[in-house]
A = this chain, B = another copy of it.
Protein backbone atom coordinates (compact mmCIF):
# COMPACT_ATOMS: atom_id res chain seq x y z
CA UNK A 1 0.00 0.00 0.00
CA UNK A 2 1.03 3.52 -0.66
CA UNK A 3 3.06 4.96 2.22
CA UNK A 4 0.99 8.13 2.76
CA UNK A 5 -2.30 6.29 3.01
CA UNK A 6 -0.77 3.67 5.26
CA UNK A 7 0.57 6.46 7.48
CA UNK A 8 -2.84 8.15 7.70
CA UNK A 9 -4.59 4.85 8.46
CA UNK A 10 -2.09 3.88 11.12
CA UNK A 11 -2.25 7.38 12.60
CA UNK A 12 -5.98 7.09 13.15
CA UNK A 13 -5.60 3.67 14.76
CA UNK A 14 -3.02 5.07 17.16
CA UNK A 15 -5.22 8.02 18.05
CA UNK A 16 -8.16 5.67 18.49
CA UNK A 17 -5.96 3.71 20.90
CA UNK A 18 -5.40 6.65 23.19
CA UNK A 19 -9.08 7.58 23.01
CA UNK A 20 -9.86 4.08 24.28
CA UNK A 21 -7.18 4.57 26.92
CA UNK A 22 -8.88 7.66 28.35
CA UNK A 23 -12.09 5.63 28.72
CA UNK A 24 -10.41 3.97 31.69
CA UNK A 25 -10.35 7.37 33.37
CA UNK A 26 -13.96 7.79 32.36
CA UNK A 27 -14.91 4.54 34.07
CA UNK A 28 -12.93 5.53 37.16
CA UNK A 29 -14.77 8.85 37.41
CA UNK A 30 -18.24 7.43 36.78
CA UNK A 31 -17.85 4.62 39.28
CA UNK A 32 -16.29 6.84 41.91
CA UNK A 33 -18.86 9.59 41.47
CA UNK A 34 -21.78 7.19 41.78
CA UNK A 35 -20.38 5.59 44.96
CA UNK A 36 -19.94 6.79 48.50
CA UNK A 37 -16.96 8.94 49.36
CA UNK A 38 -15.73 6.44 51.96
CA UNK A 39 -15.02 3.93 49.19
CA UNK A 40 -13.45 6.35 46.73
CA UNK A 41 -9.79 5.43 47.16
CA UNK A 42 -10.71 1.78 46.76
CA UNK A 43 -12.51 2.31 43.45
CA UNK A 44 -9.79 4.58 42.14
CA UNK A 45 -7.21 2.00 43.17
CA UNK A 46 -8.99 -0.80 41.33
CA UNK A 47 -9.55 1.28 38.22
CA UNK A 48 -5.95 2.46 38.25
CA UNK A 49 -4.49 -1.01 38.56
CA UNK A 50 -6.88 -2.82 36.17
CA UNK A 51 -5.51 -1.21 32.98
CA UNK A 52 -1.91 -2.17 33.86
CA UNK A 53 -3.05 -5.72 34.62
CA UNK A 54 -5.02 -5.87 31.38
CA UNK A 55 -2.17 -4.43 29.31
CA UNK A 56 0.50 -6.71 30.73
CA UNK A 57 -1.51 -9.95 30.59
CA UNK A 58 -2.49 -9.05 27.04
CA UNK A 59 1.19 -8.55 26.19
CA UNK A 60 2.23 -11.79 27.86
CA UNK A 61 -0.38 -14.08 26.33
CA UNK A 62 -3.79 -12.43 25.74
CA UNK A 63 -3.08 -11.05 22.28
CA UNK A 64 -1.87 -14.40 21.03
CA UNK A 65 -4.79 -16.16 22.66
CA UNK A 66 -7.30 -13.83 21.03
CA UNK A 67 -5.72 -13.92 17.57
CA UNK A 68 -4.46 -17.48 17.21
CA UNK A 69 -4.09 -17.30 13.44
CA UNK A 70 -5.86 -19.10 10.66
CA UNK A 71 -6.30 -22.61 11.89
CA UNK A 72 -7.30 -23.57 15.36
CA UNK A 73 -9.20 -26.23 17.24
CA UNK A 74 -12.88 -26.20 16.32
CA UNK A 75 -12.64 -22.46 15.87
CA UNK A 76 -13.22 -22.56 19.61
CA UNK A 77 -9.86 -22.52 21.29
CA UNK A 78 -6.40 -21.70 19.97
CA UNK A 79 -3.22 -20.04 21.08
CA UNK A 80 -0.44 -18.48 19.04
CA UNK A 81 2.16 -18.65 21.80
CA UNK A 82 3.49 -16.15 24.26
CA UNK A 83 3.97 -12.51 23.32
CA UNK A 84 6.88 -10.15 23.91
CA UNK A 85 8.31 -10.55 20.44
CA UNK A 86 7.12 -9.17 17.14
CA UNK A 87 6.56 -10.85 13.77
CA UNK A 88 8.25 -9.97 10.51
CA UNK A 89 7.01 -6.75 9.00
CA UNK A 90 5.97 -5.51 12.43
CA UNK A 91 6.97 -1.96 11.63
CA UNK A 92 5.66 -1.71 8.10
CA UNK A 93 2.69 -2.24 5.87
CA UNK A 94 3.82 -5.81 5.29
CA UNK A 95 1.99 -6.83 8.47
CA UNK A 96 -1.34 -5.33 7.59
CA UNK A 97 -2.90 -2.95 5.10
CA UNK A 98 -4.15 -0.50 7.70
CA UNK A 99 -1.64 -0.37 10.54
CA UNK A 100 1.50 -1.88 12.01
CA UNK A 101 1.77 -4.89 14.30
CA UNK A 102 2.49 -2.58 17.22
CA UNK A 103 -0.63 -0.56 16.55
CA UNK A 104 -2.68 -3.72 16.27
CA UNK A 105 -1.41 -4.97 19.61
CA UNK A 106 -1.80 -1.71 21.51
CA UNK A 107 -5.27 -0.94 20.15
CA UNK A 108 -6.54 -4.39 21.09
CA UNK A 109 -4.73 -4.31 24.43
CA UNK A 110 -6.50 -1.09 25.43
CA UNK A 111 -9.85 -2.81 24.98
CA UNK A 112 -8.92 -5.78 27.13
CA UNK A 113 -9.05 -4.14 30.53
CA UNK A 114 -12.52 -2.74 29.87
CA UNK A 115 -14.21 -6.02 30.67
CA UNK A 116 -12.97 -5.88 34.26
CA UNK A 117 -13.45 -2.14 34.64
CA UNK A 118 -17.15 -2.60 34.01
CA UNK A 119 -17.34 -5.21 36.75
CA UNK A 120 -15.49 -2.97 39.16
CA UNK A 121 -18.41 -0.57 39.34
CA UNK A 122 -21.05 -3.21 40.01
CA UNK A 123 -19.17 -4.89 42.85
CA UNK A 124 -18.03 -1.60 44.34
CA UNK A 125 -18.27 -0.73 48.03
CA UNK A 126 -18.04 -4.28 49.38
CA UNK A 127 -15.70 -6.46 47.32
CA UNK A 128 -12.36 -7.56 48.76
CA UNK A 129 -9.51 -5.92 46.90
CA UNK A 130 -7.27 -8.90 46.22
CA UNK A 131 -10.10 -11.25 45.41
CA UNK A 132 -11.19 -8.75 42.80
CA UNK A 133 -7.67 -8.39 41.42
CA UNK A 134 -7.36 -12.17 41.08
CA UNK A 135 -10.69 -12.22 39.27
CA UNK A 136 -9.38 -9.42 37.02
CA UNK A 137 -6.27 -11.36 36.00
CA UNK A 138 -8.33 -14.44 35.12
CA UNK A 139 -11.22 -12.65 33.44
CA UNK A 140 -9.19 -10.16 31.42
CA UNK A 141 -6.36 -12.59 30.81
CA UNK A 142 -8.42 -15.65 29.80
CA UNK A 143 -12.16 -15.17 29.43
CA UNK A 144 -12.07 -11.99 27.36
CA UNK A 145 -9.49 -13.16 24.78
CA UNK A 146 -11.25 -16.52 24.40
CA UNK A 147 -14.69 -15.13 23.61
CA UNK A 148 -13.12 -12.32 21.58
CA UNK A 149 -11.42 -14.96 19.48
CA UNK A 150 -14.75 -16.66 18.78
CA UNK A 151 -15.62 -13.69 16.60
CA UNK A 152 -12.72 -11.31 16.01
CA UNK A 153 -10.04 -14.01 16.03
CA UNK A 154 -11.83 -16.03 13.37
CA UNK A 155 -13.68 -18.43 15.67
CA UNK A 156 -16.97 -20.29 15.24
CA UNK A 157 -19.18 -17.21 15.62
CA UNK A 158 -17.42 -15.74 12.61
CA UNK A 159 -17.51 -18.86 10.48
CA UNK A 160 -21.25 -19.54 10.85
CA UNK A 161 -23.23 -19.31 7.60
CA UNK A 162 -24.68 -15.97 8.69
CA UNK A 163 -21.85 -14.76 10.88
CA UNK A 164 -22.62 -13.25 14.24
CA UNK A 165 -22.04 -9.50 13.86
CA UNK A 166 -20.62 -7.30 16.57
CA UNK A 167 -18.85 -4.33 15.07
CA UNK A 168 -17.04 -2.88 18.08
CA UNK A 169 -18.21 -5.03 20.95
CA UNK A 170 -21.72 -4.48 22.35
CA UNK A 171 -21.52 -8.15 23.26
CA UNK A 172 -17.83 -9.00 22.99
CA UNK A 173 -16.75 -6.18 25.27
CA UNK A 174 -19.72 -4.68 27.08
CA UNK A 175 -21.83 -7.75 27.75
CA UNK A 176 -18.71 -9.66 28.66
CA UNK A 177 -18.24 -7.13 31.42
CA UNK A 178 -21.94 -7.06 32.19
CA UNK A 179 -22.29 -10.82 32.69
CA UNK A 180 -19.42 -10.86 35.15
CA UNK A 181 -20.94 -7.88 36.93
CA UNK A 182 -24.16 -9.86 37.29
CA UNK A 183 -22.35 -12.93 38.60
CA UNK A 184 -20.44 -10.75 41.02
CA UNK A 185 -23.41 -8.95 42.54
CA UNK A 186 -25.37 -12.20 42.89
CA UNK A 187 -22.58 -13.83 44.87
CA UNK A 188 -21.66 -10.72 46.84
CA UNK A 189 -25.11 -9.69 47.95
CA UNK A 190 -26.34 -6.16 48.40
CA UNK A 191 -24.53 -3.45 50.27
CA UNK A 192 -25.45 -3.18 53.92
CA UNK A 193 -28.46 -0.91 54.36
CA UNK A 194 -29.56 -1.00 50.74
CA UNK A 195 -32.58 -3.28 51.20
CA UNK A 196 -34.06 -3.00 54.67
CA UNK A 197 -37.42 -4.43 55.76
CA UNK A 198 -38.34 -5.07 52.14
CA UNK A 199 -37.73 -1.47 51.20
CA UNK A 200 -35.15 -0.06 48.79
CA UNK A 201 -33.05 2.64 50.37
CA UNK A 202 -31.17 4.61 47.75
CA UNK A 203 -27.52 5.20 48.55
CA UNK A 204 -26.67 8.35 46.61
CA UNK A 205 -23.35 8.76 44.86
CA UNK A 206 -20.99 11.20 46.47
CA UNK A 207 -20.02 13.42 43.52
CA UNK A 208 -22.16 14.19 40.52
CA UNK A 209 -19.45 16.35 38.87
CA UNK A 210 -17.12 13.37 38.94
CA UNK A 211 -19.78 11.11 37.43
CA UNK A 212 -20.52 13.66 34.71
CA UNK A 213 -16.85 14.08 33.86
CA UNK A 214 -16.65 10.32 33.58
CA UNK A 215 -19.58 10.01 31.18
CA UNK A 216 -18.27 12.77 28.91
CA UNK A 217 -14.82 11.15 28.87
CA UNK A 218 -16.41 7.82 27.97
CA UNK A 219 -18.39 9.43 25.16
CA UNK A 220 -15.18 11.13 24.00
CA UNK A 221 -13.25 7.87 24.10
CA UNK A 222 -16.05 6.00 22.34
CA UNK A 223 -15.09 7.76 19.11
CA UNK A 224 -11.91 5.74 19.29
CA UNK A 225 -13.67 2.60 20.47
CA UNK A 226 -16.18 2.61 17.61
CA UNK A 227 -14.28 4.71 15.09
CA UNK A 228 -11.12 2.69 15.56
CA UNK A 229 -13.03 -0.53 14.99
CA UNK A 230 -13.15 0.41 11.29
CA UNK A 231 -9.48 -0.64 11.46
CA UNK A 232 -8.43 2.13 9.07
CA UNK A 233 -9.03 5.84 8.57
CA UNK A 234 -11.40 5.17 5.67
CA UNK A 235 -13.11 8.58 5.41
CA UNK A 236 -16.61 7.38 4.64
CA UNK A 237 -16.68 4.50 7.07
CA UNK A 238 -15.17 6.28 10.08
CA UNK A 239 -17.17 9.48 9.68
CA UNK A 240 -20.33 7.43 9.27
CA UNK A 241 -19.53 5.64 12.53
CA UNK A 242 -18.95 9.02 14.19
CA UNK A 243 -22.43 10.15 13.17
CA UNK A 244 -24.27 7.01 14.30
CA UNK A 245 -22.33 6.90 17.56
CA UNK A 246 -23.04 10.55 18.33
CA UNK A 247 -26.73 10.45 17.53
CA UNK A 248 -27.27 7.24 19.47
CA UNK A 249 -25.64 8.79 22.52
CA UNK A 250 -27.78 11.92 22.14
CA UNK A 251 -30.96 9.90 21.68
CA UNK A 252 -30.04 7.75 24.67
CA UNK A 253 -29.94 10.88 26.82
CA UNK A 254 -33.37 11.98 25.62
CA UNK A 255 -34.82 8.47 25.98
CA UNK A 256 -33.61 8.24 29.57
CA UNK A 257 -34.80 11.78 30.37
CA UNK A 258 -38.32 11.06 29.20
CA UNK A 259 -38.49 7.61 30.78
CA UNK A 260 -37.18 8.86 34.11
CA UNK A 261 -39.81 11.62 34.09
CA UNK A 262 -42.54 9.04 33.52
CA UNK A 263 -41.26 6.20 35.69
CA UNK A 264 -39.60 7.92 38.62
CA UNK A 265 -41.01 11.43 38.13
CA UNK A 266 -37.69 13.15 38.42
CA UNK A 267 -35.17 15.07 36.30
CA UNK A 268 -32.64 12.48 37.26
CA UNK A 269 -29.09 13.38 36.25
CA UNK A 270 -27.73 9.91 36.89
CA UNK A 271 -30.38 8.40 34.62
CA UNK A 272 -29.55 10.82 31.80
CA UNK A 273 -25.85 10.04 32.22
CA UNK A 274 -26.55 6.31 32.11
CA UNK A 275 -28.86 6.91 29.15
CA UNK A 276 -25.92 8.35 27.22
CA UNK A 277 -23.80 5.33 28.09
CA UNK A 278 -26.68 3.02 27.20
CA UNK A 279 -27.05 4.68 23.80
CA UNK A 280 -23.34 4.27 23.20
CA UNK A 281 -23.34 0.60 24.21
CA UNK A 282 -26.44 0.02 22.10
CA UNK A 283 -24.99 1.43 18.88
CA UNK A 284 -21.63 -0.27 19.30
CA UNK A 285 -22.60 -3.60 17.70
CA UNK A 286 -23.89 -2.02 14.49
CA UNK A 287 -22.38 1.46 14.36
CA UNK A 288 -21.17 0.89 10.80
CA UNK A 289 -24.39 -0.68 9.53
CA UNK A 290 -27.04 1.82 10.62
CA UNK A 291 -28.62 4.82 8.97
CA UNK A 292 -29.25 8.02 10.89
CA UNK A 293 -32.79 7.12 11.84
CA UNK A 294 -31.75 3.61 12.89
CA UNK A 295 -29.05 5.05 15.11
CA UNK A 296 -31.44 7.49 16.77
CA UNK A 297 -34.00 4.74 17.37
CA UNK A 298 -31.45 2.31 18.78
CA UNK A 299 -30.08 4.99 21.08
CA UNK A 300 -33.50 6.18 22.20
CA UNK A 301 -34.63 2.65 23.05
CA UNK A 302 -31.34 2.10 24.89
CA UNK A 303 -32.11 5.16 26.99
CA UNK A 304 -35.52 3.77 27.86
CA UNK A 305 -34.07 0.36 28.64
CA UNK A 306 -31.45 1.74 30.98
CA UNK A 307 -34.01 3.42 33.21
CA UNK A 308 -36.36 0.44 33.20
CA UNK A 309 -33.48 -1.95 33.89
CA UNK A 310 -32.07 0.11 36.75
CA UNK A 311 -35.47 0.11 38.43
CA UNK A 312 -36.13 -3.56 37.68
CA UNK A 313 -32.74 -4.81 38.84
CA UNK A 314 -33.17 -2.86 42.05
CA UNK A 315 -36.62 -4.41 42.55
CA UNK A 316 -35.20 -7.92 42.45
CA UNK A 317 -32.66 -6.75 45.02
CA UNK A 318 -29.58 -7.06 42.90
CA UNK A 319 -27.47 -4.18 44.15
CA UNK A 320 -25.47 -2.53 41.37
CA UNK A 321 -24.24 0.84 42.70
CA UNK A 322 -23.44 2.34 39.31
CA UNK A 323 -25.96 0.65 37.01
CA UNK A 324 -23.28 -1.31 35.16
CA UNK A 325 -25.51 -4.29 34.41
CA UNK A 326 -28.25 -2.03 33.03
CA UNK A 327 -25.86 -0.10 30.83
CA UNK A 328 -23.44 -2.75 29.66
CA UNK A 329 -25.42 -5.99 29.85
CA UNK A 330 -28.98 -4.94 29.00
CA UNK A 331 -28.03 -2.38 26.35
CA UNK A 332 -25.25 -4.65 25.11
CA UNK A 333 -27.79 -7.39 24.42
CA UNK A 334 -30.22 -4.90 22.91
CA UNK A 335 -27.61 -3.38 20.62
CA UNK A 336 -26.46 -6.79 19.45
CA UNK A 337 -30.01 -7.85 18.67
CA UNK A 338 -30.67 -4.54 16.93
CA UNK A 339 -28.15 -5.49 14.24
CA UNK A 340 -30.66 -8.08 13.09
CA UNK A 341 -33.59 -5.64 13.28
CA UNK A 342 -32.27 -2.39 11.80
CA UNK A 343 -29.87 -1.29 9.10
CA UNK A 344 -27.99 -3.08 6.36
CA UNK A 345 -27.90 -6.52 7.95
CA UNK A 346 -31.51 -6.71 9.15
CA UNK A 347 -32.90 -10.20 8.50
CA UNK A 348 -34.37 -13.14 10.31
CA UNK A 349 -31.21 -15.17 9.82
CA UNK A 350 -29.16 -12.35 11.34
CA UNK A 351 -31.44 -12.18 14.37
CA UNK A 352 -30.83 -15.87 14.97
CA UNK A 353 -27.08 -15.48 14.56
CA UNK A 354 -27.14 -12.56 16.97
CA UNK A 355 -29.05 -14.65 19.51
CA UNK A 356 -26.56 -17.47 19.12
CA UNK A 357 -23.70 -15.08 19.80
CA UNK A 358 -25.43 -13.47 22.75
CA UNK A 359 -26.29 -16.82 24.34
CA UNK A 360 -22.96 -18.56 23.74
CA UNK A 361 -20.88 -15.64 24.97
CA UNK A 362 -23.29 -14.92 27.81
CA UNK A 363 -23.33 -18.50 29.03
CA UNK A 364 -19.57 -18.85 28.90
CA UNK A 365 -18.86 -15.50 30.55
CA UNK A 366 -21.45 -15.83 33.27
CA UNK A 367 -20.28 -19.36 34.06
CA UNK A 368 -16.63 -18.33 34.02
CA UNK A 369 -17.18 -15.32 36.25
CA UNK A 370 -19.54 -17.16 38.58
CA UNK A 371 -17.04 -20.00 38.97
CA UNK A 372 -14.15 -17.66 39.69
CA UNK A 373 -16.08 -15.54 42.18
CA UNK A 374 -17.52 -18.68 43.78
CA UNK A 375 -14.14 -20.32 44.30
CA UNK A 376 -12.82 -17.05 45.67
CA UNK A 377 -15.83 -16.77 47.95
CA UNK A 378 -15.26 -20.15 49.58
CA UNK A 379 -11.51 -19.64 49.82
CA UNK A 380 -10.24 -16.07 50.28
CA UNK A 381 -13.69 -14.58 50.64
CA UNK A 382 -14.99 -11.89 48.31
CA UNK A 383 -16.71 -9.58 50.74
CA UNK A 384 -15.16 -7.29 53.29
CA UNK A 385 -16.22 -7.50 56.92
CA UNK A 386 -19.27 -5.64 58.16
CA UNK A 387 -17.08 -3.30 60.16
CA UNK A 388 -14.96 -2.49 57.14
CA UNK A 389 -18.01 -1.91 54.99
CA UNK A 390 -19.45 0.53 57.53
CA UNK A 391 -16.18 2.33 58.03
CA UNK A 392 -15.45 2.32 54.32
CA UNK A 393 -13.00 0.37 52.19
CA UNK A 394 -10.67 3.35 51.94
CA UNK A 395 -9.63 2.96 55.54
CA UNK A 396 -10.09 -0.81 55.56
CA UNK A 397 -8.10 -1.70 52.45
CA UNK A 398 -5.90 1.36 51.97
CA UNK A 399 -5.53 3.10 55.35
CA UNK A 400 -6.25 6.42 53.67
CA UNK A 401 -9.14 8.71 52.91
CA UNK A 402 -10.01 10.27 49.58
CA UNK A 403 -10.76 13.75 50.82
CA UNK A 404 -9.37 15.96 53.55
CA UNK A 405 -10.76 19.20 54.91
CA UNK A 406 -12.67 20.21 51.84
CA UNK A 407 -13.75 23.75 52.37
CA UNK A 408 -13.92 23.49 56.12
CA UNK A 409 -12.04 25.86 58.32
CA UNK A 410 -8.59 24.48 58.19
CA UNK A 411 -6.69 26.52 60.69
CA UNK A 412 -7.10 23.84 63.27
CA UNK A 413 -5.25 21.18 61.35
CA UNK A 414 -1.99 21.66 63.20
CA UNK A 415 -3.39 22.82 66.50
Contact partner of A269 among B25, B41, B410, CB < 8 A?
A: B41
Is A18 on the interface with B (CB-CB < 8 A)? yes
Report whether A9 and B7 are in contact in the complex, using a CB–CB cutoff of 8 Å: yes
Residues of B near A105 (CB, < 8 A) are: 243
Count, chain A residues at interface, CB 8 A:
121
CB distance from A144 to the nearest CB of B (A): 16
> A2-B4, A106-B239, A206-B405 in contact; A55/B246 too (CB < 8 A)?
yes
Is A215 on the interface with B (CB-CB < 8 A)? yes
Q: Report how far A53 CA is from B17 CA in the complex, Å.
A: 29
> A49-B272, A235-B6 in contact; A404/B405 too (CB < 8 A)?
no
Report whether A411 and B391 are in contact in the complex, using a CB–CB cutoff of 8 Å: yes
Q: Contact mask A279-298 → B, CB, 8 Å, 1/0? A: 00000000000011100100
Of A324-332, A339-347, A360-368, A393-401, the stretch lying at the interface with chain B is A393-401
Contact partner of A38 among B11, B83, B101, B410, CB < 8 A?
A: B410
> A55-B246, A235-B6, A405-B36 in contact; A253/B49 too (CB < 8 A)?
yes
Report whether A246 and B44 are in contact in the complex, using a CB–CB cutoff of 8 Å: no
Q: Report how far A109 CA is from B204 CA in the complex, Å.
A: 34
> A207-B402, A407-B37 in contact; A250/B22 too (CB < 8 A)?
no
> A209-B40, A276-B48 in contact; A402/B397 too (CB < 8 A)?
no
Q: Report how far A40 CA is from B210 CA in the complex, Å.
A: 11
Report whether A242 and B91 are in contact in the complex, using a CB–CB cutoff of 8 Å: no
Is A247 on the interface with B (CB-CB < 8 A)? yes
> A28-B212, A51-B250, A247-B56 in contact; A36/B102 too (CB < 8 A)?
no
A and B contact pairs by CB, cutoff 8 A, 21 listed: A4-B7, A7-B234, A10-B235, A11-B235, A32-B209, A37-B404, A37-B405, A40-B208, A44-B269, A48-B276, A56-B296, A59-B296, A85-B292, A101-B239, A102-B236, A106-B239, A206-B404, A206-B407, A207-B402, A208-B403, A402-B407
- A4-B5, A48-B273 known; 8 new pairs, CB 8 Å cut-off, are A25-B217, A41-B269, A44-B269, A53-B250, A102-B236, A267-B398, A268-B400, A403-B406
